[in-house]
Structure 1
Amino acid sequence: MSNPEREPAREPQDLAGLFNARANAGDVEGLVALYETDAVLAAGAVVARGHAEIRTFYTDLLSRRSDFPAAEVLEPVRNGNLAMTFARLPNGTISAEVAREQPEGGWRWVIDQLKIKPLKAG
């Protein structure tokens, strides 16, 4: 899928919804566009740095998986042009990301930690 006129995330919490829509559409380039050029994505043992490696990661992921259930978007923590974004996945894990407001407008992820196991009480 190709769409050069993709809407950017207007607020940091919009990134999770855009991720879900683009992943379910099989839009690898749309997923890559959610990240700054030199962003870092960590997913388990995989660490992807920059658009080329992030593209490779999502190309592989989308070739093996086609359904991405909607996540519960949690309130971001903001400090100026930076924000920590969070989403609770249906299996209870939490994703955490650092997003930055872009000079041309919109928000993109700078650091993405895909899954963090929830802490157990007690």
Structure 2
Amino acid sequence: MDGMAALFEPHAVIDSGGGQLTFGREAIRTMFAEVTATGRKFQSGDQRPAVINGDLALTSTRLPDGTITTEVARRQNDGTWLWVIDRFSVA
């Protein structure tokens, strides 16, 4: 799951619900590895247009079960975007 973790800034945070926060790219890498080891599949959904203000962007996806993911990305010096905050599906 190195590919997934590479989408996050080094000090990013993921809120996966239930008060569970994962801090930092290494912990995020471990979390994704543990989730996929259980056989859980990540759903694809309807990605909504990003809302951009300067070097910040709010992204979200509506999943088939109706839940919504939300993320905050920051533009990097090289022009690419990395997530700094990720909230897994919320109702």
Kindly report the root-mean-square deviation, in angstroms, between the aligned alpha carbons of the 2 structures.
1.1
Task: For residue 37 of structure 1, give the secondary structure of its aligned residue in structure 2.
Answer: strand
User: What residue is the counterpart of 2:56 in the other structure?
Assistant: 82
Identity of aligned residues (%): 39
TM-score by length of 1: 0.70
**Whose Rg is larger?**
1
State the aligned residue count. 90
The list of structure 1 runs, each at least 4 consecutive aligned residues, that deviate by more than 4 angstroms after superposition, is none
Measured against aligned partners, the alpha-carbon deviations of 1:10-53 in whole angstroms (never above 9, x if no partner) come to xxxxxxxxxxxxxxxxxx00000000000000101321000121
Do structure 1's residue 34 and structure 2's residue 7 form an aligned pair? yes
Q: Which has the higher strand share?
A: 2
TM-score by length of 2: 0.92
Task: For residue 75 of structure 1, give the secondary structure of its aligned residue in structure 2.
Answer: coil
Task: For residue 50 of structure 2, give the secondary structure of its aligned residue in structure 1.
Answer: strand
> Match for 1:41: what amino acid?
I
Q: Which runs of 5+ in 1 are unaligned?
A: 1-27, 118-122
Q: CA deviation at 1:54?
A: 0.5
User: What residue is the counterpart of 1:21 in the other structure?
Assistant: none
User: What residue is the counterpart of 1:62 in the other structure?
Assistant: 36
Q: In 2, Cα distance between the equivalents of 1:77 and 1:102?
A: 17
